[in-house]
Amino acid sequence: MRHPNVPESLDSWWILHQMFAFDRLTWDQLPQTQRTELIREAQTALEALKTSDDTDVGLAQMVGHRADLMITHYSKNYDGLAHAQTVIDKLRLTEYLASSTSYVSILELGLYDATAKIHAALSEQNLKPNTQEWNQGFDDLLKEQEKIPHHAGRLWAKIPQRRYVCFYPMDKKRGEDVNWFMLSYEERSKLMLEHGKIGRTFHGLVTQVISGSIGYDNYEWGVDLYADDPLVFKKLIYEMRFDEASAKYGHFGEFYSGMQFSLDQLETYLDGHQIPALNVLQPALKA
């Protein structure tokens, strides 16, 4: 049974963010031969996850005290996140990585406008809500949304290959005085439409990945922003602060930002003599 005030979403990749503190001083004391062995082991394991059609992996050097390294996992099924986590846990490299936090979610495309149109279409057919015919009609029309090229391209795109990344979790407030979920569908839809207009003004400058985490983690959504200039994050998020959907109803967790780097740059990151690079056309690792 679907509640009439609940907007539908299209869901795709399961996502796991893992944050680690890196014991660089202890790592530096290891013999070079041992470091090389651990690096190759890690690269081989991560490459197996990254090259699969059903998974993807992103690495980022974080800036600030809350984390040194962020590993982002994509999987087409929930069990795949557990597999990716286990792969990381079994690496000998993790003797020098201490988990600081993690976040579990699933990539989603919100369908406020489309849900309203589906409701209207079913009403025009004189179907009664939550009957078998209404539910079947709703499912059929919802599946049509997956075929829209714009939706299909966003749903199963892999981790954006842009240099800078910013991740943060967020909620919509649901207190006694201000409660997003008690607004009417029409009010929420209007606010989200205005909210989306701001994001579209940054088209081409930032790639946004929204993931739902209700039932999986402490917040209700996770947000990943990817850009070629880190200043874009400040400009976008600051402008959205003046939008009612955020200013009145938004509640945000901790922000994490850093630089993505390619898997073949793992040794550069661990040794710390240079900042690792993001090679968009990353060559396959040599055996």
Helices (H), 215-265: 231-241, 244-247
Q: How confident is the model at residue 131 (pLDDT cuts 50, 70, 90)?
A: confident
Could you give all domains of the chain from N- to C-terminal order, each with its CATH number? 13-106+260-271 (3.30.70.1030)
Residue labelled with tokens 């992996």 = 57
Question: DSSP secondary-structure letter at 152?
Answer: H
Who contacts 1 (Cβ-Cβ below 8 Å, separation ≥6)? Answer: 130, 135
- pLDDT given at position 144: 74
| Phi-psi category of residue 184: left, alpha or beta, with phi > 0 → left and psi -120 to 50 → alpha | beta
d(CA 82, CA 238): 35
Please determine, for residue 282, whether its predicted confidence score (pLDDT) is greater than 50.
no
DSSP state of 225: E
Give dist(CA 237, CA 257) in Å, integer: 13
266: pLDDT strictly greater than 50: yes
Provide the annotated active-site residues. 168
Distance between alpha carbon 79 and the CA centroid of its chain, in Å? Answer: 17
Given a cut of 90, whether residue 105 has pLDDT beyond it is yes
Highest mean pLDDT among 97-106, 109-118, 119-128, 154-163: 97-106
Q: Which residues pair with 225 in a beta bridge?
A: 166, 208
- How far, in Å, are 5, 257, 268 from residue 13 at the CA level? 25, 21, 29
pLDDT digits (tens, 9 = 90+) for 133-163: 767 776 776 677 766 766 777 889 999 999 9
Return the pLDDT at 133.
Answer: 75
